[in-house]
Amino acid sequence: MADEVKPISPLKNLLAGGFGGMCLVFVGHPLDTVKVRLQTQPPSLPGQPPMYSGTFDCFRKTLMREIQASSGETKYTGPLDCAKKLYKEAGVRGIYKGTVLTLMRDVPASGMYFMTYEWLKNIFTPEGKSVNELSVPRILVAGGFAGIFNWAVAIPPDVLKSRFQTAPPGKYPNGFKDVLRELIRDEGITSLYKGFNAVMIRAFPANAACFLGFEVAMKFLNWAVPNL
């Protein structure tokens, strides 16, 4: 007799997905900071070296700058203070600055992300076995490559988003079209892939950790609270 298909539990998926997101941030956050610094560095003047020569130079300089700034005055004391000041400066629009670009990044990239993960899980599942029995190494590989495919789609709108969100108020009155025009004019089409190395170094381990965390949490919940 075939195994009975268990109904999907939204609450279990919510909890397991949250834990997977925690794993992703824990593994990938340092390089995410480096990515944003690389994406938002200004173009170098003629005859002058760029602010960062690459991923590892940016990591080193960011680390040194944070150590030096730890004893000085900071603009924001935390996320709530940042949100409060943004709201004071520009209202609700300030908090949601870059929403369109975030959607332009996340809608296609997330589709690619989950499609790739499910596709690879099916490929890696031995004949006659269930995807729920997939081994840890295969989950890690599927999750890691899903992250790489996700960011291959997401990098250009992510660069535009980072530039737009960190720009002074009023610099780009026409939104992402002004950012795109300025980037291509001043730095060429390759500027849309700024931070590529940092993104790809981060993508595999961070997203492998994300999906492994999700699968482990789901198995734990199915064991601990099967009727949830």
Question: What pLDDT, in 10s, does the model give residues 124-183?
Answer: 998 888 888 889 999 999 999 999 999 999 999 999 999 999 888 889 998 889 999 999
Q: Rounded to 5 degrees, what angle do the CA atoms 28, 34, 37 make?
A: 140
Res. 65: pLDDT tops 60: yes
User: How large is the angle between the packed helices 176-187 and 99-124, nearest 10 degrees?
Assistant: 80
The average pLDDT across 212-216 equals 94
* pLDDT in the model for residue 55: 87
Question: What pLDDT, in 10s, does the model give residues 8-19?
Answer: 789 999 999 999
Res. 1: pLDDT tops 50: no
Question: What pLDDT, in 10s, does the model give residues 103-125?
Answer: 999 999 999 999 999 999 999 99
Mean pLDDT, the chain, whole residue set: 88
CA distance linking residue 109 with residue 150, whole number of Å: 5
Contact 139, 211 (CB under 8 A): yes
More confident residue, 107 or 50: 107
* pLDDT in the model for residue 90: 85
pLDDT band, residue 72 (cuts 50/70/90): low
Res. 41: pLDDT tops 50: yes
Res. 6: pLDDT tops 70: no
More confident residue, 2 or 179: 179
CA proximity to 122, closest of 113, 111, 112, 133: 133
More confident residue, 50 or 76: 50
Distances (CA, A) of 194 to 64, 157, 165, 168, 183: 22, 11, 16, 20, 11
CA distance linking residue 81 with residue 188, whole number of Å: 36
More confident residue, 36 or 67: 36
- pTM (predicted TM-score): 0.81
The average pLDDT across 188-202 equals 92
* pLDDT in the model for residue 2: 43
